[in-house]
Structure 1
């Protein structure tokens, strides 16, 4: 496996034009007849390699559904999903499971750690399941990046929520996936711990060339991204480049007609 130090720094600026994932005319519907609900309505989107993309929208807009379909965690009613050049919508279950295991990383709001394993064992678990040995240099770099060097022997119950989510982030990075999906990854954390996790995700894009797609309702979290995509009623209605928390909040207010929570001053770290 390639040494970590040779990875090109390609994230954060849009310098690369390669598409990491894309949706083409994707429809996701539940039910039939009068009870039919369309969660995604002919969605087309390209997600670029080496970029941090945030997906936002009001409750029920389809943002989590879109992420789950892009990640191969949910099926589509019609249309196509591609990861790199592989159309995952036509894959059999076994092939799709293998692709997710080998090429996709996940960070969820619920940390999803195994309580009987220590931090290091949780980090390497996907590699162990796949029968792959971790690249020690890469693993050490990931652990150092997320600040877990002194906590590797601790079990989840011995870690704070922020530390548990650092383990989850390190686990997602450990196998060097082509793309990492995060579903409200800071939703269960206080503002300081949330800012730390978002900083780690940002650095993984800038320093490692990682591709990250994150669903969030938080304008501060979205401000760490290179690009924000807005959904409403199952459709992509707008996008923003180099977002700030204030600009995202203003855009969300216009789309939702609601009142998203005003960003707190202590997590306003990135004002791209």
Structure 2
């Protein structure tokens, strides 16, 4: 991993803007002999308009890093910026607003309301925030997800892959600065997982979205532009233009 990191929220040497920046993140669980340093001084940037995967062996800190980057968990030291906003200095109210306005989430479980149609599930977050969707943006997302013929269907009428694409559309419809995806294909078969990963890849390339994904699957990671590797709570390297084979080899080197 290069020791040189671009400035927070700025344009780097390659002309890419930093969407998310972490500086010297420390997260400790437990005390005394039971203390575990889940993150041990992690500093890393995530470029805007790119698809980045975070990988590492079990217990490496990858999920903890995502939760801290997304404001779902606190840090014991260090800072996180979403664009120019320092997430780690926000009040609970400020964090809630930041997550609502700037961050999209996709989880392993689809978290769709069974009584609502696909379209209603996609728009639910905006409605709860008292906001109306941008019609052109909504139409674009529906096209990219391939859900146009499924908008009137309820979750039990959709395949697993279609349900996760609804969850992806819900994460994107508010035009977030960044989408965090936590094992988004974990509950899917390989075909449905490929559908979701293709969509995330397309959302980056066609919609200029920024996606940060935690995964344990080298094939899923191969869809990303870059893979950030963690081991024992520290950065352990990165792979640009990854393939499933290059990711698998790197994971073996980390003892996974």
Once the two structures are TM-superposed, the CA of residue 233 in structure 1 deviates from its matched residue by: 0.4
Tell me the TM-score normalized by structure 1: 0.88
Please give the residue correspondences for 1:164-243 in structure 2 after superposition, counting only pairs within 5 Å.
Answer: 164-243=163-242
Match of 1:91 in 2: 90
Map 1:1-272; keep pairs closer than 5 Å: 16-256=15-255, 258=256
SS in 1 for 2:57: coil
Q: How many pairs does the alignment contain?
A: 244
1:213-265 residue CA offsets vs partner (Å, 9 max, x unmatched): 00001111111111100000000111010001111111111112x4xxxxxxx
Conserved in 2, the CA contact under 8 Å of 1:16 and 1:49?
Answer: no
Aligned equivalents of 2:250 and 2:31: distance in 1?
A: 33
Q: Distance in 1 between the 2:41 and 2:253 partners?
A: 23
Tell me, what secondary structure is at the counterpart of 2:142? helix
Large movers: runs of 4+ above 4 Å: none
Cα-to-partner distance string for 1:57-91 (whole Å, 9 max, x where unaligned): 01110000000000001000111111111111110
Return the alpha-carbon distance in structure 2 between the equivalents of residues 127 and 204 of structure 1.
Answer: 19
Rounded Cα–Cα distance in structure 1 between residues aligned with 2:190 and 2:31: 42
In the alignment, the residues of structure 2 paired with residue 15 and residue 134 of structure 1 have an alpha-carbon distance, to the nearest angstrom, of 33
The 10-residue stretch of structure 1 (42-51 or 30-39) with the greater mean CA deviation from structure 2: 30-39
> How many angstroms apart in 2 are the aligned matches of 1:206 and 1:15?
17
The alignment partner of 2:254 has SS state of helix
> Quick one: distance in 2 between partners of 1:198 and 1:168?
13
Q: Distance in 2 between matches of 1:145 and 1:23?
A: 31
Distance in 2 (CA, whole Å) between partners of 1:80 and 1:207 is: 31
- Give the secondary-structure state (helix, strand or coil) at the position aligned to 1:115: coil
CA distance in 2, matches of 1:164, 1:87: 33
Aligned to 1:7: none
Q: Give 5+ residue unaligned stretches, structure 2.
A: 1-12
Q: TM-score, normalised by structure 2?
A: 0.93
